């Protein structure tokens, strides 16, 4: 990879890692489901620039099939999980278990078979999640962990659909997919969070809340997917994908620096197991490569 493209991949990982801090800060101003609705509404604005004549890069059935698990299910679960007590740094790590859920679901949906290295990585990572769970206080924090895991599973469903849809352009796909969640999420927010809470959020906006919303929609969604899509078009996925391992590193370090989150020895040990499992599954080890592969 060219040096500039390596720096771009690191920048995307940093932006996505800091995204969890932005979510935590934004949730101080917005109720979680309403926050998600605003995020996708803002992320969908480039459709006005791209123009309706061009149309989506995929048939609408695929746009909806991706938008529901990704936008209507995954992100509300993640935002709610963080809102009820899941630390932002740990969320950035646990959410990466989507890689393992994707591998598991691919067995049934695509007929893929995970190798021994992937299976070992899954076992190692889920052992780490179990270790983290023992450190989470019962109640809201443990619920937050469960919601984050459920968000990872929903993300995995979206990954399977995206793979079957064979989207040619990640950025354009994400912009059009962003049209799907706002109305269902707004309806859900009105029912679950209530007009009064929504009105209070809008009238009591702070610059931190507005900045968090713009960052999540603009930097993490539009820039992140545009840059990642560019890299995926120019390099093999096996070369680009390992950079995603930097996301929880940036997520955990930024949450410690900016939010004052602390990690006990047990949580750090669990985090290392999850990270080790991810690395084992994602990175190609020359000694384990099959001849002729």
Note whether residue 13 is domain-resident.
Answer: yes
User: Mean pLDDT across the stretch 257-274?
Assistant: 84
Residue 263 scores a pLDDT above 90: no
Confidence band of 271 (pLDDT split at 50, 70, 90): confident
Q: How deeply is 114 buried, as exposed, middle or buried, from its count of CB atoms within 10 A (0-12, 13-18, 19+)? A: middle
Helix axes 116-135, 265-282, angle to 10 degrees: 160
The CA distance from 147 to 77, in Å, is 5
Which range marks the domain in which residue 21 is found?
3-288
Note whether residue 133 is domain-resident.
Answer: yes
pTM above 0.85, yes or no: yes
Residue 131 scores a pLDDT above 50: yes
Note whether residue 142 is domain-resident.
Answer: yes
What mean pLDDT, rounded, does the chain reach?
A: 86
Length of the chain: 293
Strands of 170-260 (E only): list them.
Answer: none
Q: How deeply is 120 buried, as exposed, middle or buried, from its count of CB atoms within 10 A (0-12, 13-18, 19+)? A: middle
Confidence band of 284 (pLDDT split at 50, 70, 90): low
Residue 53 scores a pLDDT above 70: no
Note whether residue 281 is domain-resident.
Answer: yes
User: Mean pLDDT across the stretch 75-92?
Assistant: 92
Note whether residue 293 is domain-resident.
Answer: no
How many domains, the chain?
A: 1
User: Mean pLDDT across the stretch 196-214?
Assistant: 92
Note whether residue 172 is domain-resident.
Answer: yes
């Amino acid at each position: 990879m060219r040096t500039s493209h390596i720096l771009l991949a690191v920048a995307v990982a940093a932006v996505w890692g800091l995204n969890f801090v932005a979510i935590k800060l934004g949730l101080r101003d917005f109720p979680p489901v309403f926050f998600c609705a605003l995020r996708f509404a803002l992320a969908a604005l480039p459709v006005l620039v791209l123009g309706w004549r061009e149309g989506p890069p995929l048939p609408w059935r695929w746009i909806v099939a991706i938008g529901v698990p990704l936008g209507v299910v995954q992100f509300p679960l993640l935002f709610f999980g963080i809102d009820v007590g899941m630390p932002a740094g740990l969320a950035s790590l646990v959410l990466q278990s989507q890689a393992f859920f994707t591998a598991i679901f691919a067995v049934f949906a695509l007929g893929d078979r995970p190798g021994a290295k992937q299976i070992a990585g899954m076992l190692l990572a889920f052992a780490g999640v179990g270790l983290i769970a023992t450190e989470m206080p019962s109640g809201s924090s443990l619920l937050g962990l469960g919601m984050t895991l459920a968000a990872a599973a929903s993300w995995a469903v979206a990954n399977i659909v995206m793979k079957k849809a064979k989207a040619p352009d990640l950025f354009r796909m994400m912009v059009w997919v962003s049209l799907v969640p706002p109305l269902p999420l707004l309806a859900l927010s009105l029912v679950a969070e209530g007009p009064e809470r929504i009105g209070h959020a809008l009238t009591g906006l702070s610059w931190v809340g507005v900045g968090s919303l713009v960052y999540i929609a603009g930097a993490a969604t539009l820039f992140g997917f545009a840059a990642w899509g560019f890299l995926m078009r120019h390099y093999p996925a096996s070369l680009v994908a390992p950079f995603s391992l930097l996301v929880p590193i940036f997520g955990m370090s930024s949450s410690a620096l900016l939010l004052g989150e602390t990690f006990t020895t047990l949580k750090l040990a669990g985090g290392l197991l999850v990270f080790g499992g991810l690395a084992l599954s994602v990175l190609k080890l020359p000694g384990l490569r099959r001849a002729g592969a």
